[in-house]
A and B are shown apart, each in its own frame.
Chain A
Amino acid sequence: MAATPIELDAAIKRRDESERRIVGARDFSAKNLVAYLFLLMITIYCLTPLYWLAIAATKDNTDLFASVGLWFSHFDLFANLHALFTRDNGVYLHWVGNTVLYAGIGGGLGMLISVAAGYALAKYRFAGRSLLTVLVLGAVLVPPTTLALPLYLLMSKINLTNTYWAVLLPSLLHPVGVYLARVYATASVPNELLDAARVDGAGEFRIFGRVALPLLGPGMVTIFLFQFVAIWQNFFLPFVVLSDPNLYPISVGLASWNFDPAAHELLFNLIVTGSFLAVLPVIALFLILQRYWRAGLAFGSLTG
């Protein structure tokens, strides 16, 4: 029984209300105080580095070293941004564009591929179905990172390394997405509805497009989110298969500045500002689409 994100939200609210009624309003007892202290400590631990990053993005290289880390000094954010965007003929903007391309296309197309496969595994009986299910699970257990080195060698045989395709094509493969899609399709696409559509004479692909996909909408957002963020954060694959800085995603680009032995001290403010910018879109996605995250991670309760 997989819950869609919206159902899950409503369920949480209901539970909280009824639970509070049962337990009563013992809001701040001594026992709770310990709990709050613990929560506060972990909150500080989680947020301080992000806070530091935001502050540091407003400092130039001198202040970065000379001023107190956790408070503002001279406000140089715009100077940093200008330097960041113009460094090496604006290579950072290339990285941003590439990352959006890799994560956007990889996430969108990859999500559709995963949903189609997961839907077929959930809703059709066909020879090879159980083998394929096992393969999907196996691929979840052995992440493709393990295979990045031989993948590079294989790609270099067909001159695919150092192209957009080298990152884009492998990124489309997302076994966890197939797994999630299978779970969602089993739970939220009733067989009766599919049969009714068949009886009415609709073709199988039409049924998938007009009946199944609308029902899978929230699940699709969740799968897209996971894949988008996974590609946005991916380092190893692009690091291995790319050597042209103009093709780098942000992660590899920032790491290359960080590794640059000649310039890294001079580049500190750019690395910090570039990192800060790279975090913002993902945080925005988190805040806007919070409930889809929780629904996606609820699959922990579904695997038995």
Chain B
Amino acid sequence: MATKTTSVASAKSLAAHATRLAGGGRRGRFSLRLLVPYVFVLPFLLLFVGFFFAPFFYALSQSVYKVQRSGLGFGPPTVVWAGADNYLKALHDPQFWDGIRRVILFGSVQIPIMMAIALTLALLMDSAVIRFRRFFRLAFFLPYAVPGVVATIMWGFFYSPSLSPIVQLFNTLNLTPPDFFGPNTVLASIGNIATWEFTGYNMIIFFSALQGIPQELYEAGRIDGLSELGIALRLKLPLIRPALVLGILFSLIGTLQLFNEPQILSRLSGAITSTYTPNIFAYNIAFVQTNYYYGGALAVILGALTFVFSYGFLRLTRRQAGV
């Protein structure tokens, strides 16, 4: 009986609803309903236009001008149309390419190492044989809580000859302590900071994906005679592929943006120049040399490059997966 009354009631309100929608006097209300989703997305859209589109197009509009000094460079500087000059300048700027090459080298060594560790940890965390997993998970994830600036200052202390417990250890053992800030080692020192910060974060991404795999698949694998290692490699790995792609994608983006760690370590290491990474280079062009026009072009190139890399990576991995 109860169901009948509710259905009658809802039929009534449905009718009321329909009249309301169709009623001539209420047509204003009907069109307002169509606007509802736009009201919901409006704040986001405003922010997006103001802080994403606007700066991008501003950089684009600045990048086609340059400062010219007339009369052998002694006259007053004037801003003139440059067309593609700033972009051509960037393409032929060895210092810019030096930075690009450096972050690519950084990414092609640091990302695989970090992903291998994170994946191994995630598989171990997913295995019921291992005890104390809550503690381990927390320990691995904690570095992610440390702001990048603090992490870099902290590792800077760890690397510095006068303070470092590592150097103390080497000295006690009468060994020559490594120079963490040398031209050949400082990139690895930065890589270590990034690995320390983000291994746990990636481990949790992979771990969460592993937890989403239905148990029955493992049981089927065991029945088919797969060992635990075989299950990990043949079943788990392909199934968490989207999570792997995502983790690598975020690392890729972060690597191309590399700024905080080298910028802060530059106080301690002479090897970190003002052109060390593309972002540091763009920062110095724009703020130290106050060349906003060239800086704008560099910002556009960096944004485009980041998009090409990340989008290309997504496309590539999707095609391989046959999606």
Q: Is the CB of A300 within 8 A of B146?
A: no
Interface residues on B, range: 35 or more
Contact B205 A39 (CB under 8 A): no
Query: Cβ of A198 and Cβ of B17 under 8 Å apart?
Result: yes
Closest to A300 in B: B243
CB contacts (< 8 Å) of B303 on chain A: these are: 142, 146-147
Residues A52 and B158 in contact, CB atoms below 8 Å apart = yes
Contact between B215 and A15 (Cβ–Cβ < 8 Å)?
yes
By beta carbon, the residue of chain A nearest B303 is A146
Which residues on the B side are within 8 Å of A302 (C-beta)? 242
Per-residue contact bits, chain A 44-78, to B (CB 8 Å; 1 contact, 0 not):
01110110110010000000110011100000000
For the complex, give the distance between the alpha carbons of A45 and B136 in Å.
Answer: 12
Complex alpha-carbon distance, A68 and B165, angstroms: 7
How does the 8 Å CB contact mask read for B189-220 relative to A, with 1 for contact and 0 for none? Answer: 00000001001110011111101100100110
Residue numbers in A under 8 Å from B156 (CB-CB): 258
The answer to whether A301 and B240 touch (CB under 8 A), given A65-B163, A116-B44, A154-B54, is: yes
Residues of B within 8 A of A244 (CB): none
Query: Cβ of A268: which chain B residues have Cβ within 8 Å of it?
Result: 157, 163
B38 touches A (CB below 8 Å): yes
Chain A residues with CB below 8 A from B124, complex form: 35, 38-39
B242 touches A121 (CB 8 A): no
Most buried by A among B10, B120, B149, B283: B149
Q: What is the CB-to-nearest-CB distance from B231 to chain A, in angstroms, rounded to a whole number? A: 11
Residues of A in contact with B, size category: 35 or more
Is residue B111 within 8 Å, beta carbon to beta carbon, of the partner chain? no
**Interface assignment of A22: CB less than 8 Å from any CB of chain B:** yes
Cα separation A203 to B117 with both chains bound (whole Å)? 51
A150 & B59 in contact (Cβ 8 Å cutoff):
yes
B-to-A contact residues, CB < 8 Å: 10, 13-14, 16-17, 33-34, 36-41, 43-45, 47-48, 50-52, 54-56, 58-59, 62, 117, 120-121, 124, 128-131, 136, 138-143, 145-151, 153-158, 162-165, 168, 196, 199-201, 204-209, 211-212, 215, 218-219, 222, 228, 240, 242-243, 245-247, 249, 253, 257, 259-260, 264, 267, 279, 282-283, 286-287, 292, 295-296, 299, 302-303, 306-307, 310-311, 314, 323
